[in-house]
Amino acid sequence: MKIIDLRSDTVTQPSEEMRQAMAQAPVGDDVFGEDPTVNALQKKMTELTGKEAALFVSSGTQANQISINAHTQPGNEVICEERAHIFNYEAGAPALLSGVQLHPLPGKYGVLDVQQVEEAIRPPDHHFAQTKLIALENTHNRWGGTIYPIDEIKKMKKLADRHGLKMHLDGARLWNASVATGISLKEYARYFDSVSLCFSKGLGAPVGSIIVGGKEFIERAHYYRKVYGGGMRQAGIIASGALYAVEHNFKRLKEDHRRAKLLAEALNAFPGMVIDLQTVQTNIVIIDTSLTGKPAALIAERLNEHGVKVIAFSPTRLRLVTHLHITDDDVDRTIEVFKKVCAEFNV
């Protein structure tokens, strides 16, 4: 029985062709800036995002944390949405590594109200931490893969400019937002001082993320990458997987979005499984299981016994993520398995 792994798009395995590309990649010492494949990837990402410079790093967390560090001084404050990855899933790194405090604000579908952000900016008074950075997330993971509307981004950028603040985008899944809306990575990136993007999520590369931004900013980021022990040597082996992923797996993300929608619509019809279909904009489906009266973890366990792996995102929520190993048949089987498990629980 094929295990249908919907826990995350991070579980994807490199294809045979990607492995071939990796095996044949020309490499050099990237700490000396001499790895031709890393350099090619960085160049490609500057072209795709319209930014001056790019830096290949080991993970999305490292990309975000280096960016935060390079934009701030210890004691500064960073405004973000309260379900943001940097606030919930990065192990307290902003405090530990940059000495900054996050100022999380409630958002709707991951989108922050500009006026609310303006009110949260600290006045220049010695009682307060100095606000330095606004960090947004697109697509927004914990809200269910929601897309940050470009008009809201533009408004936020105007606000940031008025107050002399920097803007960072956690764009781990910006690829998905771009494919879903038809808005280019370049257009999304232009409103930010730094953007992080991951190759190891929906694109299916085994390792790696990138930071793009201005030349001076990337210089500083380079320093922090070294500080974090993130200077890699013949990193072209993995950068080549990332290059392959960008060239072959970017546009196909729309398939993942179509399947997520199919899953969401079918599962939402089960009593007890409640999905806000408005949030299903890309490859993530969040199911509210509270009406079942059963802990989400228990439901996940049962699904797992039938060969469907999902994540219990909270005591009352399951997360399902479609990706390049999930086929139409897998979608059908997942729906069947949910039907079975709901029957077992009498819901």
Nearer to ligand TLP, 59 or 131 (CB): 59
Residue among 51, 83, 85, 157 that touches ligand TLP (CB under 6 A): 85
The verdict on 193 binding ligand TLP (CB under 6 A) reads no
Nearer to ligand TLP, 170 or 330 (CB): 170
Q: Is 312 helix (H, G, I), strand (E, B) or coil?
A: strand
User: Which token pair is 167?
Assistant: 């803007």
The verdict on 170 binding ligand TLP (CB under 6 A) reads yes
The verdict on 198 binding ligand TLP (CB under 6 A) reads yes
Strand ranges across the sheet with 194-198: 53-57, 209-213, 194-198, 166-171, 131-137, 77-81, 101-105
Q: Which residues contact residue 103 at a Cβ distance below 8 angstroms, ignoring those fewer than 6 apart?
A: 77, 78, 79, 80, 120, 131
Measured distance CA(12)–CA(286) in Å, rounded: 20
The verdict on 327 binding ligand TLP (CB under 6 A) reads no
Nearer to ligand TLP, 93 or 159 (CB): 93
- Sign of the four-CA dihedral 72, 74, 77, 78: positive
> How many binding residues for ligand TLP (CB under 6 A)?
15
Binding window for ligand TLP (CB under 6 A); candidates: 59-67, 211-219, 240-248, 294-302: 59-67
Nearer to ligand TLP, 89 or 250 (CB): 89
The answer to whether residues 221 and 212 touch, using CB atoms and an 8 Å cutoff, is no
Q: Is 313 helix (H, G, I), strand (E, B) or coil?
A: strand
Binding window for ligand TLP (CB under 6 A); candidates: 13-21, 55-63, 252-260, 333-341: 55-63
Nearer to ligand TLP, 175 or 270 (CB): 175
Measured distance CA(121)–CA(163) in Å, rounded: 8
Binding region for ligand TLP (CB under 6 A): 8, 10, 59-61, 64, 85, 89, 137, 141, 170, 172, 198, 200, 209
